[in-house]
Amino acid sequence: MAQQRESRWVKTVVASIVRPVLGAVTKREWQGQENIPREGGVIIAANHLSMADPLTISHFLYVAGRRWPTFTAKDAVFRIPVVGAVARSTGQIPVKRGSTDAIKALHEAENALTRDGSSVIFYPEGTCTRDPDLWPMTARTGVARLALSTGVPVVPLAHWGEQHLLRYGTAKLRPFPRKRVQMVTGPPVDLSAYRDRPLTSSVLTEATAEIMRAITDLQAGLRGEVPPAEPYDMKKARRGDGSGPPEVAAADETPLPGPAETGAAGESEARQAGGGQTGPAADGAGENRPGGEGTTRS
């Protein structure tokens, strides 16, 4: 039986604060919300543009999808006065990066999906994109592993516009004039070809490629552009083999709270479960919020 992970009154308070702020600084364009299951565990696999997109994704998921957003988050966030209490009360999942305790977080994420029927947002890339044109990069295999081991659907989500609000690598927020933020979800990724196969490295790599291809295609539709033939690879860039501009070791620890920089579980679960910063939820008690199909603008 599904358990209630969040405090209803805390959700309502957070929503009453965050939603008006987002309405003041963004002009939303939402599509595909009918692809988000209204109940039951679901993985929302999203591209990562900015430390502001946890808020915009949460807003979309909760208002349009009628689902409460759950992120994994660095355990340090949970030690911050008030912020930590809000994160715990809204059902977010703490992760210790580089620790065996990360495995516990993976198990909690699995419980959130299978036991509690939660909607859990993951960034398969593991961090904000470093692609020069902000296309999705190569990804970790943890989301595919979690999807195949639990059997829950993976709904791809693509978005565009938050980089104009808060560009990655800077703490300078540019709220005005209001920024156009586009959001779209597609139907669940078809992973049926991998479900009855051993979770080998090749199987997980292929399934991950399917997930990232779905996200990239959705973003290409939003942008009206053709994505690169091969996704940007941070490892190759760091080796300086000519695959892209040199990777700058810019930390993801920007002042603005953001969601977990995690690929969920992977071949080395503790390593792949790197935490991030918590993404505050955006819109009150989802079971009482209206949703709808098609494109929503405001």
Helix (H) or strand (E) holding 157: strand 154-160
Tens-place pLDDT, residues 153-195: 999 999 999 999 999 999 999 999 999 999 999 999 999 999 9
Averaged pLDDT score across all residues of the chain = 81
Which amino acid is present at 136? P
Find the mean pLDDT for residues 57-83. 88
Which amino acid is present at 288? N
| Neighbour count for residue 195 (Cβ, 10 Å) | 12
Tens-place pLDDT, residues 89-139: 888 888 776 666 667 788 889 999 999 999 999 999 989 999 999 999 999
DSSP 3-state of 290: coil
Among 48, 49, 44, 50, CA closest to 32:
44
User: Positive or negative, the Cα torsion across 193, 194, 196, 201?
Assistant: positive
Strands 26-31 and 296-297: antiparallel
Q: Please give the Cα distance from 292 to 33 (Å, whole number).
A: 7
> Residues of the chain with pLDDT > 90: what percent?
59
Tens-place pLDDT, residues 25-56: 999 999 999 999 999 999 999 999 999 999 99
Domains of the chain plus CATH, in order, are: 8-281 (3.40.1130)
Question: What confidence category does residue 17 fall into, taking pLDDT thresholds of 50, 70 and 90?
Answer: confident
Does the pLDDT value for residue 3 go beyond 80? no
Question: What confidence category does residue 274 fall into, taking pLDDT thresholds of 50, 70 and 90?
Answer: very low
DSSP 3-state of 74: strand
